[in-house]
Structure 1
Amino acid sequence: MVIMSCTHNLQLNGDDVHNYGRGIALEPFVHQVSGRATMMCLNETTVCKPLNYREHFFYKSLPQDIKQFAPRYKGVVNVNIEETPDGYVALTAYPYEPDSLIDDCKSDYDVSTDSSEEEQEDLQSNESTEEISEQSGNCDTRIKVRRTGSMCVDDQHHSVHTNNTTVNPWIFKVYKEGLQRQLQSKPRVVKQFILLENVTSKFRKPCVLDLKMGTRIHGDHDAEAKKMHHEIKSAQSTTQQLGVRLAGMQVYQPKSDTFFCLDKYYGRKLDRHGLRSTLRRFFQDNYRTRHDLLRPVLLRLRSIRDSLKRLRTYRFYSSSLLIMYDGASTSGYDVELNTLDEIPPDGGDTADNQSDNPATEDPKDRVRIDIRMIDFAKSTHQEMDSKYVHDGPDHGYIFGLTNLIKLLKEISKGDSPSSE
Structure 2
Amino acid sequence: MPASSGVMGEEFESVPLQPFLHQVSGHTGMFRFDDQTVCKPLNVREYNFYLNVPHNLKQFTAEFRGTIEVEIREDSDGYVTIMGRLPMSTKWQKSSNGENLAGRAQQTDKKEEGQHSLRLLRSGSVEVSTQTDQVFHSRDSDRKTENINPWSLRCHKKTLSKLRKANQGPVTHCKFILLENVAAQFCHPSILDLKMGTRQHGDDVSPDKKERFMKKCQNTTSSSLGVRVCGMQVYQEDSDKYICVNKYYGRSLGVDGFKQTLHQFLHNGYELRKDLLDSIIKKLKDLHRQVQSLDTYRFYSSSLLVMYDVRSQDKDVEEASAQSNIVDVRMIDFAHSTHSGFQNDTTVHTGPDQGYLYGLKSLIDVFTDMR
TM-score (norm 2): 0.85
Q: Kindly report which structure 2 residues correspond to 1:5-404, keeping only aligned pairs within 5 A, or say none.
A: 20=12, 23-95=14-86, 128-130=92-94, 132-136=101-105, 137=107, 138=109, 139-146=113-120, 147-154=124-131, 161-162=142-143, 165-184=146-165, 185-327=168-310, 329-330=312-313, 368-384=326-342, 385-404=344-363
CA contact (8 A) 1:168 1:261 kept: yes
- Tell me, in whole angstroms, the C-alpha distance in 1 between the residues paired with 2:19 and 2:142: 17
Note the residue ranges of structure 2 that are not aligned, 5 or more in a row. 95-99, 316-321
- Tell me, in whole angstroms, the C-alpha distance in 1 between the residues paired with 2:136 and 2:290: 42
Shift of 1:366: 10
Name the structure 1 match of 2:319. Answer: none
CA contact (8 A) 2:338 2:345 kept: no
Bigger shift: 167-176 or 68-77?
167-176
Shift of 1:316: 0.3
Aligned length: 341
- Local SS of the residue matching 2:129: strand
- Tell me, in whole angstroms, the C-alpha distance in 1 between the residues paired with 2:241 and 2:276: 21
CA contact (8 A) 1:163 1:260 kept: no
CA contact (8 A) 1:43 1:135 kept: yes
The structure-2 alpha-carbon separation of the partners of 1:155 and 1:166, relative to structure 1 and needing over 3 Å to count, comes to closer
CA contact (8 A) 1:47 1:195 kept: yes
Name the structure 1 match of 2:370. Answer: 411
Residues 143-178 of structure 1, C-alpha deviations (whole Å, 9 max, x = no match): 133332452232999997457654311112111111
CA contact (8 A) 1:242 1:400 kept: yes
TM-score (norm 1): 0.75
Shift of 1:411: 1.3
- Local SS of the residue matching 1:289: coil
* Residue identity in the other structure for 1:292: D
- Local SS of the residue matching 1:57: helix
The structure-2 alpha-carbon separation of the partners of 1:410 and 1:209, relative to structure 1 and needing over 3 Å to count, comes to same
CA contact (8 A) 1:209 1:248 kept: yes
CA contact (8 A) 1:11 1:135 kept: no
The structure-2 alpha-carbon separation of the partners of 1:291 and 1:328, relative to structure 1 and needing over 3 Å to count, comes to closer
Residues 78-124 of structure 1, C-alpha deviations (whole Å, 9 max, x = no match): 00011123431111011269xxxxxxxxxxxxxxxxxxxxxxxxxxx
The structure-2 alpha-carbon separation of the partners of 1:173 and 1:149, relative to structure 1 and needing over 3 Å to count, comes to farther
- Local SS of the residue matching 1:37: coil
Bigger shift: 183-192 or 376-385?
183-192
The structure-2 alpha-carbon separation of the partners of 1:216 and 1:366, relative to structure 1 and needing over 3 Å to count, comes to farther
Shift of 1:11: 9.1
CA contact (8 A) 1:308 1:393 kept: yes
- Tell me, in whole angstroms, the C-alpha distance in 1 between the residues paired with 2:314 and 2:145: 24
CA contact (8 A) 2:81 2:119 kept: no
CA contact (8 A) 2:136 2:242 kept: no
Name the Cα RMSD after superposition: 2.8
CA contact (8 A) 1:204 1:328 kept: no
The structure-2 alpha-carbon separation of the partners of 1:329 and 1:208, relative to structure 1 and needing over 3 Å to count, comes to farther
Residues 40-80 of structure 1, C-alpha deviations (whole Å, 9 max, x = no match): 01100000000000000001111111111100000000000
Shift of 1:37: 1.1
CA contact (8 A) 2:70 2:173 kept: yes
Residues 176-197 of structure 1, C-alpha deviations (whole Å, 9 max, x = no match): 1111001124322101000000
Shift of 1:236: 0.4
Where does structure 1 differ by over 6 angstroms across 4 or more consecutive aligned residues? 155-160, 364-367
- Local SS of the residue matching 1:134: helix
Name the structure 1 match of 2:97. Answer: none
Shift of 1:246: 0.1
Note the residue ranges of structure 1 that are not aligned, 5 or more in a row. 1-6, 98-125, 333-363, 413-420
The structure-2 alpha-carbon separation of the partners of 1:158 and 1:73, relative to structure 1 and needing over 3 Å to count, comes to closer
- Local SS of the residue matching 2:184: coil
Shift of 1:389: 0.6
Give the fraction of aligned pairs with identical amino acids, expressed as a percent: 38
- Local SS of the residue matching 1:153: coil
